Each structure stands twice: as structure tokens, then as C-alpha cells.
Amino acid sequence: MLIGEFASEAGTTPRMLRHYEDTDLLAPASRDTNGYRIYSPEQLPRARQIQALLASGMPATLVRQLLDVLTDAGGIYPEHVTAETVTAVETEYERMCRCVECMAARRDALRVYLDQLRAD
């Protein structure tokens, strides 16, 4: 499949597929004689996993680590899990929790101002 068709099947864009390639997340299966990227249908589950992981807010470096331990169905290959991967996921989880706490505090402060504006 050429990049446009593959992107459509994967639910993404050719631009994002080029980004996946640039960040070592997903390389085309091959290139044809004129240099066009050729993707295999077997790469669709991986492309969808990458898209979902990135959409969850994970940085590409962590996604790259997780791809080695995830099955195409989204399960885990326990034998591929390393202490480094667990630590990286825990660190990202803690970072996200801090972001959520910060956003909640900002939301609550904004609510106070909004309540005051409506009271007038």
C-alpha cells in the first residue's frame, strides 16, 4: 500500500506516518523504485497502536519502548518487559498525575472567578 492508502486505512495522515518514521516508531515495509513508501497491511495494527499511545499523551520515546512489549491485540509480552520500561511508564504516569493536579487547581481557581463574575 502506498502511504496515502495506508494512512487512510490506519485512520491517520501521510504526514503522521512520516513523523512515525522520523521518530523510529514505524518504518515503511519497503520503498518502490521511485522512492515512494510502501506499507504492508500487517503494519496496520502497529500504526493504530502508535496512534492510540500518542493520543494518550505519551511521548514518542516512551511509545518506542512500549512497542517492544505490546502484542498487536494490545496485550503485553511479559518476557519483553524490563525494569527500565516499568520505571519509564511509572515516571510518565506520575508526570501525568502532576499535570492533572495542576489542571484541577487551575480549573478550580477559574471557577472562583467565574462565580464572582456571574454574581455581579
**pLDDT for the residue 91:** 95
Task: Write down the pLDDT at residue 116.
Answer: 93
Contact 36, 3 (CB under 8 A): yes
Q: Residue 74: its pLDDT value, please?
A: 75
Helix (H) or strand (E) holding 14: helix 14-22
Annotated domain spans of the chain: 1-59
Q: Helix, strand, coil: what percent of the chain each, to 5?
A: 65, 5, 30
Q: What number of other Cβ atoms are within 10 A of residue 28's Cβ?
A: 20
* pLDDT at residue 119, rounded to an integer: 87
Give the span between the Cα atoms of 37 and 6, in whole angstroms.
10
Global pTM value: 0.77
What's the confidence (pLDDT) of residue 72?
76
**Tens digit of pLDDT for each residue in 23-56?**
999 999 999 999 999 999 999 999 999 999 999 8
**Which CATH architecture group holds 1-59?**
Orthogonal Bundle (1.10)
Tell me which residue of 105, 23, 106 sits closest to 58, measured CA to CA: 23
What does R_g of the chain's alpha carbons equal in angstroms? 20
* Cα torsion through 48, 43, 31, 3, rounded to 10: -30
Which tens digit of pLDDT belongs to each residue from 57-106?
899 999 999 988 888 777 889 898 999 999 999 999 999 999 999 999 99
Burial class (CB in 10 A: 0-12, 13-18, 19+), 17: buried
